[in-house]
A = this chain, B = another copy of it.
Amino acid sequence: MERRRGTVRDLRRDNRSVLLWSLYFNQPLSRQDLSQATGLSPASVSNVTRELISEGVVIEAGSVDSDGGRPRVLLRMNPDHGYVIGVDVGETRIRVELFDLMMTVRAKADYPLNPHEHGVEQVVDGILAGLATVLADGEVDASSVLGVGIGVPGVVEQGAEVLVHGQTYGWDAVPLERLLRAGTDLPLYIDNGAKTMGQAELWFGAGRGAQNAVIGLIGSGVGASIITNGSTHRGATSSAGEWGHTTVMVGGRTCRCGSSGCLEAYVGAEAVLDRYGLPLPGDDQETALATLIDAGTAPDASTTALQAVQVLDDTVRYLGAGIAGLINLFNPERIILGGWAGLLIGERLLPEIREAAQQHSLRQPFAETSIELCRLGPDAVALGAATLPVERLLNGTAEAPSGKSRSAS
């Protein structure tokens, strides 16, 4: 285990960290603002900022009048102090994005994937190619990249060696980090895509400032990112957040996970379309679901519409029950609904979902929870992944940039 707390030097690292977090999310701030926000004395803020400025992490930018006195100097993160890369390994494509420290996109690259064949090699090659492309397009040198965050579907086991168990991918204990390591020296941070997306919403979207929240993501499958004490809950082996396989109907519909009555078997996009049964236009699930929702929420009443209404009604009821379970168990201050299917449904039926959730939850915790939609759209996985190395920087635990030997025990 790494040494962490104890010495007076760690104290400095901690203080530096709270200062950086404060600045990152509330910039620009004057030293005085920082003193107030962090509880540190002005003297300490002065010392720490001097250090940060000399390192180039923070820059002075402008100033602001102060009613007759010396103007406040505003501090900002230096967006060019380093760059981060986010990778979204999705069902149909790999997306690689290069960001500066403040998460402005500098370059992008997409690599299509065959939806029915996710060879590990393909994915690894795609990611490596993407890294090279965005670095070239963004005109950024690899040495100034803080790290690469990678959001993948399935369970990510964070052990001595990072292993990916991709249920829908047919991946079993794939040592993704090791495989990528052969092609790059950049620090790698691999995590579940739902978790990285949740972190994106937490940092920049509907979750800003929340200490306890659950971000529920509905696509073809159903997942969640659970935020406790302001950070993502990972559980014993980092697989926490598998919301989709909560049983909402004992003995109910068979789920692709092999169990029955799972939430996913009712509110996952595939399940919703399947329950509807009738053919829908469009080649892909997204178009089909949108059509179904249009039919079900339009004010007319043809035969097919009635059936659509029925399916959506049930979907809302099941989803409400699922959300209520989260509210009762976690008592979050916010529930945030996302994923492409979640957004499609939520945009039309959020009031109904809220009502269904209320019917299945206890009065007190429900009253303290707001139920909202994701604000960053369905493509925030890469953004969230890219926050992983930023998080390390803010915490002062970032790795050294170039290949450094690692000692165990």
Residues of A within 8 A of B (CB): 1, 3-6, 8, 10-11, 14-15, 18, 38-40, 44, 155, 157, 165, 167, 211-212, 224, 226, 228-229, 233-243, 245-251, 257, 259, 261, 317-318, 321-322, 324-326, 328-333, 359-362, 364-365, 368-369
Contacts and interface: CB of A to CB of B under 8 A. Distances in A.
B237 A6 contact: no
Contact of A14 (B5, B237, B321): B5
B365 A239 contact: yes
B40 A329 contact: no
Contacts of A242: 328-329, 331, 362, 365
Count of identical protomers in the assembly: 2
B11 A317 contact: no
Given A6-B15, A364-B165, A331 B235 contact: yes
B241 A329 contact: yes
A251 B317 CA distance: 9
Contacts of A233: 228, 330
Given A261-B321, A360-B245, A235 B365 contact: yes
A15 B212 CA distance: 28
Given A247-B248, A328-B246, A239 B317 contact: no
B5 A328 contact: no
Most buried by B among A157, A241, A250: A250
Nearest to A259: B360
Given A10-B11, A229-B229, A235-B365, 18 more contacts: A4-B39, A6-B38, A6-B44, A155-B362, A212-B236, A226-B329, A228-B228, A228-B229, A236-B332, A236-B365, A237-B365, A239-B362, A240-B329, A241-B331, A243-B328, A250-B321, A251-B317, A325-B325
